[in-house]
Each structure stands twice: as structure tokens, then as C-alpha cells.
């Protein structure tokens, strides 16, 4: 992929991949998320993500929501631990309309008090919906367990108490403190020349002037493995097992990415799926994940199973982890694992929207975006010894934390 770069006079960075297509994608990503919240602000980054669609200095909420959708496009946003993003997919002739709207909602939102009260109720319902789904809740609760007492352990949605307390002055205080022009990326993948895109971004984004100071994030240190069992009351037990891992710049993140994919990636032939579901029929669902942050990371395995099968399922997971610590992958196994990961990454980039979001996040933290071709070369260079070293660091049984949502006894 050929990525082109530009920095606006106010410091906002731009990355673009010109691709002939009927549909184009553009987004704005800010390097601010839930870990940047102070305790009374828990849920604020997510609340702002909701509220930016509720009216600007020149548009009411109805006009914000209809501007792109009425042209057949889609407007969306998300919040993570370290980023907030608003983005659009649209027919390529509507580039300027989409860029102008992104700038308007991101920097001219007025946060009407009446709309704030309505949106608080929406988010409280979202929290209740999440609490109704233990298979989703356990992922966040496991991060809260592992990162206990640290902002990374905060739930992105916030709590009912904090969300209910938000005031307009709190919103602007958070944005003033955290939104900085040198921590914003505009990302574009679509049918437009770079020169024209730069002109549009200069027109709509260069007038933006944010005065936020650079915030030093509290580093996560002194991890202590924890074990916790909660009574769930549902019919299915849910289990998370994992350990802290590598940050997004650590060279060992790629070997762990391959190990994670081999263990519990999306393919039906992952080791955990074959061992726990296909061979023994013990679990309804099993997967593994690897999340990277600026200063740390998290590896974890999730499974959902009957209460009677919890202990045996955990034992089989640990057996697979032990196997990767003690046995090097053979040449054929390693070759297959590399091809599988490379193929899955290529498929992900085949979605231009996924590509747009991925390169936005990359440019937030690095001076240039690594191409998919470069990733594939790095995957091909991985060797069995480096994978085994990583497995012994991350899959060390003494360092694993466990969270169990224990189901009711169905007998």
C-alpha cells in the first residue's frame, strides 16, 4: 500500500491511501480514551463520543445524523481505552461533505443540556444491557481485575453514578485537558487525490485551535496475579485466564500475535477450539485475545462452559499453554501458522474501512504507517525459538490471573 502523509499547520496529522472505489472512508482519531479519565470522570470519553452527534454550532442533531446517511453513507464512532474515533463511509463524490461534517461534530459540538440528560439515560441502558450479558461483561471485568486500581481497569462505559453526575462544564474541562492538535490523526482511504484532500482538510480543520496540555499517563506497574470467582446466576459459566503482555512498540508483540492466533484465533482449527470444543465438546465458545496499549498489554483466553466442565476446561487450556512453553513448533506447524496469520491480516486489510481505522491508530503512535507487505515479511521471519521464548514469558502458569463467573447448578 502507498501511504501519503501531511501535517496541517496546526499540527493535525493526515494519512491517505488513494484507491479507486465507489465508496471511500475517512475518520478522525484522537489519542484520548477511558484511561485518561480521573475517577469522577469515569465514562466521560465514551459520553463525549455519544454527545458529538447531538448538535453543533450550526446543526441540530437531526441534521448531523441525516447529512451523510441521506446520501447513502454511514456515520459512526467508538471509544477505547486510549482512543476516541469518529468516522464515515460514503460515496466518493461526497468527500468534502463528509470531511466538513467530521470537523463540525468533532470540534463544534455544543453539548445541549437537554440532549445530555437524554443521552445519560441511553448510556445507563447500555450499561444495563452489558450487565445482562456476562459473556461480554467478563472481558471488561477481567481487565478491571488485572489492572486493579489503575485507569486501564476502568470500564469504558463508566458507572451509573459517574455518568449520572456529568455536567456540561465537566465535558469541556475534560476536552480542554485531553484534546491536543498534535494527538489527532485524519485518516483517509478512497478515491481522491492527495492534493485535493489536503486542501479540504486545510479548509475545514486548520481553523481548529485546541489548547490541551500534554498529559503524562500513569504507567501500569507491579502486576500481581489474581484469582476471583463470582456467582453469576446464569446457565453458562464464563472463564477468563490471562497475563499482562507487551506494549504496542515491543518487538515481541508479533510473536505473541502469532501464538495468540494459533491458540484461539478466529479460525476453526485453532488449538483451543479443536481441543476443547471439537475433541471433547466441553465449551460453547473459546477464544484468545491480545490487546496492546502504550505501556503494557494483555493476553487472555475466554471460554463459556457448563458449571460441571469448568475445572476440566481450565486444565485443558493450561495444558495447551504448557505445550507451547515446552515444545518448539515443527517446521510444518510454524509454516502453517505463519500462512494463517498472514492470510487473516490480509483479509482484514481487504476491508478499506478496517484499513482506514488501522492506519489512523498507527500514525497516532508512530511517524509512519507500516504497510501490510512489511507486516507479512516480519511474520515470515519469525522462528520457533523466539515463539517459545515469548510463550515462557507470557504463558507462565504462576503469572496467570483467573476470573470465573460461576453459573447456577443446573442439576
pLDDT attached to residue 370: 87
Band (pLDDT 50/70/90 cuts) for residue 244 is very high
In the predicted model, is pLDDT for residue 27 greater than 90? yes
- The residue-averaged pLDDT of 339-350 equals 90
The overall average pLDDT reported for the chain is: 94
Does residue 32 belong to any structural domain of this protein? yes
Q: What is the pLDDT of residues 121-180, one digit of tens each?
A: 999 999 999 999 999 999 999 999 999 999 999 999 999 999 999 999 999 999 999 999
**Residues 347, 381 within the same domain:** yes
pLDDT attached to residue 72: 87
Q: Helices 331-350 and 384-394 meet at what angle, rounded to 10? A: 80
Does residue 219 belong to any structural domain of this protein? no
- Residue range of the domain that includes 153: 4-205
Q: How many structural domains compose the chain?
A: 2
**Residues 235, 380 within the same domain:** yes
**Residues 190, 244 within the same domain:** no
**Residues 70, 137 within the same domain:** yes
> What's the chain's length in residues?
411
- The residue-averaged pLDDT of 263-281 equals 94
> Would you give the distance in Å from CA 278 to the centre of its chain?
29
Does residue 90 belong to any structural domain of this protein? yes
Q: What is the pLDDT of residues 293-315, one digit of tens each?
A: 999 999 999 999 999 999 999 99
Among residues of the chain, what percentage have pLDDT more than 70?
99
Does residue 196 belong to any structural domain of this protein? yes
Among residues of the chain, what percentage have pLDDT more than 90?
87
**Residues 31, 132 within the same domain:** yes
Does residue 216 belong to any structural domain of this protein? no
**Residues 269, 349 within the same domain:** yes
Does residue 56 belong to any structural domain of this protein? yes
Q: Who has greater pLDDT, 233 or 50?
A: 50
**Residues 57, 151 within the same domain:** yes
Does residue 213 belong to any structural domain of this protein? no
pTM: 0.94
In the predicted model, is pLDDT for residue 213 greater than 80? no
User: Residue 200 and residue 203: Cα distance in Å, rounded?
Assistant: 5
Find the CATH number of the domain harbouring 291.
Answer: 3.30.830.10
Band (pLDDT 50/70/90 cuts) for residue 94 is very high
Q: Which of 172, 205, 238 is the last residue of a domain?
A: 205
In the predicted model, is pLDDT for residue 410 greater than 80? no
pLDDT attached to residue 212: 67
User: Residue 264 and residue 250: Cα distance in Å, rounded?
Assistant: 22
**Residues 31, 129 within the same domain:** yes
**Residues 200, 317 within the same domain:** no
**Residues 59, 192 within the same domain:** yes
Band (pLDDT 50/70/90 cuts) for residue 99 is very high
Which residues, in sequence order, are CB contacts of 256 under 8 Å at separation 6+?
245, 246, 290, 297, 299, 390, 394
Amino acid at each position: 500500500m502507498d501511504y501519503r502523509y501531511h501535517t496541517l499547520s496546526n499540527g493535525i496529522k493526515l494519512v491517505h491511501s488513494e484507491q479507486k472505489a465507489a465508496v471511500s472512508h475517512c475518520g478522525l482519531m484522537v489519542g484520548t480514551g477511558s484511561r485518561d479519565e480521573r475517577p469522577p470522570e469515569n465514562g466521560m470519553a465514551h459520553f463525549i463520543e455519544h454527545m458529538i452527534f447531538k448538535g453543533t454550532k450550526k446543526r441540530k442533531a437531526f441534521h448531523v445524523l441525516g447529512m451523510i446517511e441521506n446520501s447513502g453513507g454511514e456515520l459512526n464512532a467508538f471509544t477505547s481505552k486510549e482512543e476516541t474515533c469518529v468516522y464515515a463511509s460514503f460515496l466518493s463524490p461526497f468527500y468534502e461533505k463528509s470531511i466538513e461534517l467530521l470537523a463540525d461534530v468533532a470540534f463544534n459540538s455544543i453539548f445541549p443540556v437537554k440532549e445530555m440528560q437524554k443521552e445519560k439515560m441511553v448510556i445507563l441502558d447500555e450499561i444495563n444491557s452489558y450487565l445482562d450479558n456476562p459473556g461480554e461483561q467478563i472481558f471488561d471485568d477481567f481487565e478491571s481485575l488485572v489492572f486493579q486500581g489503575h485507569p486501564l481497569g476502568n470500564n469504558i462505559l463508566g458507572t451509573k453514578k459517574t455518568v449520572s453526575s456529568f455536567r456540561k462544564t465537566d465535558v469541556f474541562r475534560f476536552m480542554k485537558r485531553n484534546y491536543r492538535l498534535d494527538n489527532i490523526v485524519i485518516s483517509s482511504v478512497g478515491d481522491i487525490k492527495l492534493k485535493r484532500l489536503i486542501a479540504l482538510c486545510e479548509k475545514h480543520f486548520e481553523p481548529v485551535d485546541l489548547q490541551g496540555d500534554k498529559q503524562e499517563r500513569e504507567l501500569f506497574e507491579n502486576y500481581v496475579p489474581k484469582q476471583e470467582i463470582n456467582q453469576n446466576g446464569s446457565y453458562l459459566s464464563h472463564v477468563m485466564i490471562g497475563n499482562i503482555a507487551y506494549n504496542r512498540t515491543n518487538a515481541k508483540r508479533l510473536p505473541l500475535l502469532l501464538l495468540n492466533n494459533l491458540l484461539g484465533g478466529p479460525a476453526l482449527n485453532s488449538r483451543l477450539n479443536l481441543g476443547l470444543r471439537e475433541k471433547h465438546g466441553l465449551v460453547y465458545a473459546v477464544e484468545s485475545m491480545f490487546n496492546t496499549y502504550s505501556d503494557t498489554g494483555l493476553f487472555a483466553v475466554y471460554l463459556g462452559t457448563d458449571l460441571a466442565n469448568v475445572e476440566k476446561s481450565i486444565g485443558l487450556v493450561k495444558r495447551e499453554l504448557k505445550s507451547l512453553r515446552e515444545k518448539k513448533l515443527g517446521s510444518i506447524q510454524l509454516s502453517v501458522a505463519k500462512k494463517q496469520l498472514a492470510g487473516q491480516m490480509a483479509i482484514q486489510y481487504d476491508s478499506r474501512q478496517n484499513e482506514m481505522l488501522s492506519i489512523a491508530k498507527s500514525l497516532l503512535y508512530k511517524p509512519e504507517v507500516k504497510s501490510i507487505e512489511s507486516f507479512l515479511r516480519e511474520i515470515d521471519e519469525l522462528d520457533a525459538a523466539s515463539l517459545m521464548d515469548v510463550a515462557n514469558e507470557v504463558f507462565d502458569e504462576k503469572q496467570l490471573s483467573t476470573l470465573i463467573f460461576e453459573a447456577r447448578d443446573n442439576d
